[in-house]
Chain A
Amino acid sequence: MPPRPPQTSEASTATSPTARTGRAAARTDAPDAATARARVGRERRSPLRLPSLPRGRARRRETLLRLACLAPPLLLLGVLVLYPVLDVAWLSLTHSSLINPDPEFVGGRNYAEAFGDPQFRAVLLNSLVWTVVVVVAQFVLGMTAAVLLSKRFRGSAVLRVLVVVPWIMPGITAGLVWKMLEDPYLGPVNALLSGLGLVEGNPAWLGEESTSLYAVAVAAAWKGFPMSAVMYLAAYQGVPEELREAARMDGARPWQVFRHVTLPGMAPTIRVTLLLTTVWTFNSFDLIYVMTKGGPGVSSEVLSSFIYRTAFVDVNHGSAATYGMVSVTVLTVFSVFYLRQMRHTGGLR
């Protein structure tokens, strides 16, 4: 990725009059080349480099043009994202079924039922375990891989490319492959483990209530860690080598260099990556659907897969919407953190 143009404080000052004169220069439809060039000279000196709106009628026209460009995608997102969220909020207060598809208002009944339902509470707990296990595994694997890949050795360039293979394997394929890998009789996982003397017999990792969620989590960690590895590798390389060198000169040991120089430099990336992998893991259920369909029982069911099952297998849109609202609430918290972080790093300008 080529370097971005430096983004100075244009967002906050873009509408101030001084900024407008300074920046509108190259943007007005001035036919006079000499004036334009003079203005560009001014533009060069100004700290603001991104184009702003021209003035007067041209400005109004440009504003209209920009709104017109934004309208179609924004309208579509309104229909496909905003309306669904509002609709889910409404549906969560209704009841409908396959026979009676028209939603009937029932107030907070769905919510009371949901939180009184031991199955739903089990699903919530599963969601927590699933998210924590997968995110931690992806962090550890991703960081280890990134540190390893930051070193130069024969084949390191090839490995840096190959590490994304799990990530570009479609979720459905990855689910099927891992389902076979973990098959009690036909898969190599049990063959490997019993070869090492770690297991007896042929445990069905995906078929036991006590292990099914973790058995899927292994596949999810495998599928997702390359993304973390790539992010961490970029962040690792973004910490200037001179800093590490200076710490070494001062007698710091490799671990200390990592702990006190590299890690703090990577902190913003780590925060965002953890936040995003948490959200992605919390939302995703393609692997679960392919590998266990949430079973046996609800032992590997998470919130997202439970919403899907309730809505399209049990055809209970009201309850599904209620679970959906719980999910939206959780994600709102993460969104606030994410937005704050992005604003902090200037990503929203």
Chain B
Amino acid sequence: MNARARKQWRATGRATGLYAGALALAAFVLGPFVWMLLTALKTPREVFSRPPTWWPREVTLGNLRDAATGEFGRSLLNSALVCAGTTVLCLALALLACYTLTRPGLRGRSGMLGAILVSQLLPHAVLLVPIYRMAGDLGLLNTRTGLMVAMLAFNLPVGIWLLRGYLSAVPIEVEEAARMDGLSQFRAYWTVVVPLSVPGIMAVAVFVFFTAWQDFIFAMVFLTDPDLGTTPLALLGFVGKHSVNWGLLMGASTVMMIPVLLLFAAVQRHLVGGLAAGAVKG
């Protein structure tokens, strides 16, 4: 074999390895997701057949239909209300905080940033007991408002931190130009800097919404009234003690994931990079 043939052979080997790796990664990443979708389309008989099948022999939409209506449908509405509420509250407060936190000059700002950064490292389980007791004293258990505010305990620090990253990416010259036009610093922030950061703000909103959407630790403790139950609680309700209706459960899981997929698809470009940069560089 001459040198050129060897080089070509090596290149082919490299390419094959690359595609094999890519295929393995794709299978690993998507496998469970595809399993969820396919199981949702199977009839109950096929779900419980042994050995398990991947591809449904007989496609049914019954699971998805059952999941989207009735009790589960109402839980989707409950979740949407609570998560939208907590997202709006979180963003309003974070935008306010970031007016101060994106510009230097206030004494102790660095310390405050450190405190906010560290507060997102605390486990939800630890915060839950005191928050639960507090909410009980205030009569906020079993209310949507109570849950919305309680979820700010873990959403607000993250929201402030991420938002700060996006807002401080706006070149300072833009704000200076607005100031030259006679706007106060505060006005310039709200009418120039904030609108310019809308893609980033939306990305943070999606992230906060998503965090709230998948929470069930707080919801389990706060909401005992089944009429208020959020989607994760409804999902857990489907899990029986001895048998599980897997087809329905996977159907419901699929339905629960649709809004998340749509939201992430909308902000995907802005979110992923921002998260990576936010965690590392601040």
A positions within 8 Å CB-CB of B = 1-5, 10-11, 14-15, 26-27, 29, 33, 36, 40, 43, 49-53, 62-63, 65-67, 69-70, 72-74, 76-77, 79-85, 87-88, 91, 144-145, 148, 151, 153, 155-156, 159, 161-166, 168-174, 176-178, 180-181, 185-188, 191, 222, 226-227, 230-231, 234-235, 268-269, 272-273, 276, 279, 282-283, 285-286, 289-290, 303-305, 307-308, 311-312, 317, 320-321, 324, 327-328, 331, 334-335, 338-339, 342-343, 345-349
21 examples of A-B residue contacts, CB within 8 angstroms: A5-B168, A26-B180, A76-B149, A87-B130, A145-B25, A153-B22, A161-B268, A162-B29, A180-B250, A230-B276, A234-B277, A235-B280, A268-B280, A273-B280, A283-B121, A285-B125, A328-B122, A335-B121, A339-B114, A345-B280, A348-B282
Report the nearest A residue to B232, measured CB to CB. A172
Contacting pair B106 A63 (CB below 8 A): yes
Do A40 and B176 contact each other (CB < 8 Å), given the known contacts A63-B106, A162-B26, A335-B118? yes
The yes or no answer to B256 lying at the interface (CB within 8 A) is: yes
Report the nearest B residue to A82, measured CB to CB. B119
Do A74 and B112 contact each other (CB < 8 Å), given the known contacts A66-B100, A170-B256, A186-B48? yes
Contacting pair A151 B18 (CB below 8 A): yes
> What number of B residues sit within 8 Å (CB to CB) of A?
109
Contacting pair A308 B156 (CB below 8 A): no
Contacting pair A73 B39 (CB below 8 A): no
Contacting pair A283 B124 (CB below 8 A): yes
B positions within 8 Å CB-CB of A = 15, 18-19, 21-22, 25-26, 28-30, 32-33, 35-36, 39, 47-48, 50-52, 54, 93-94, 96-97, 99-101, 103-107, 109-110, 112-114, 116-119, 121-134, 149-150, 152-153, 156-157, 160, 165-166, 168-169, 171-172, 175-176, 179-180, 184-186, 200, 210, 213-214, 216-217, 220-221, 232, 235-236, 239, 246, 249-250, 253, 256-257, 260-261, 264, 268, 270, 272-277, 279-282
Contacting pair B156 A80 (CB below 8 A): yes
- Measured in the bound complex, the distance between the Cα atoms of B272 and A231 in whole Å is 9
Contacting pair A91 B130 (CB below 8 A): yes
Contacting pair A347 B281 (CB below 8 A): yes
Contacting pair B97 A73 (CB below 8 A): yes
Give, as a whole number of angstroms, the nearest-CB distance from B106 to chain A.
5
Do A1 and B270 contact each other (CB < 8 Å), given the known contacts A51-B172, A80-B131? yes
Chain B residues lying within 8 Å of A156, measured Cβ to Cβ, are: 22
Give, as a whole number of angstroms, the nearest-CB distance from B240 to chain A.
13
The secondary structure that dominates the B interface is helix
**Complex partner residue of A222 from B32, B121, B133, CB under 8 angstroms:** B32
Give, as a whole number of angstroms, the nearest-CB distance from B146 to chain A.
12
Give, as a whole number of angstroms, the nearest-CB distance from B224 to chain A.
11
Do A1 and B30 contact each other (CB < 8 Å), given the known contacts A70-B112, A342-B282? no
Do A67 and B122 contact each other (CB < 8 Å), given the known contacts A74-B112, A168-B210? no
Contacting pair A331 B19 (CB below 8 A): no
Give, as a whole number of angstroms, the nearest-CB distance from B72 to chain A.
13
- Measured in the bound complex, the distance between the Cα atoms of B99 and A156 in whole Å is 39
- Measured in the bound complex, the distance between the Cα atoms of B118 and A67 in whole Å is 21
**Complex partner residue of B94 from A73, A191, A235, CB under 8 angstroms:** A73
- Measured in the bound complex, the distance between the Cα atoms of B49 and A117 in whole Å is 44
Do A14 and B130 contact each other (CB < 8 Å), given the known contacts A84-B153, A234-B276, A305-B125? no
Contacting pair B126 A85 (CB below 8 A): yes
- Measured in the bound complex, the distance between the Cα atoms of B114 and A73 in whole Å is 15
Give, as a whole number of angstroms, the nearest-CB distance from A238 to chain B.
10
Chain A residues lying within 8 Å of B116, measured Cβ to Cβ, are: 77
**Complex partner residue of B280 from A65, A87, A269, CB under 8 angstroms:** A269
Give, as a whole number of angstroms, the nearest-CB distance from B80 to chain A.
14
Give, as a whole number of angstroms, the nearest-CB distance from B89 to chain A.
9
Give, as a whole number of angstroms, the nearest-CB distance from A321 to chain B.
6
**Complex partner residue of B30 from A145, A148, A165, CB under 8 angstroms:** A165
Do A162 and B110 contact each other (CB < 8 Å), given the known contacts A5-B169, A170-B213? no
Contacting pair A170 B272 (CB below 8 A): no
Chain B residues lying within 8 Å of A52, measured Cβ to Cβ, are: 103-105
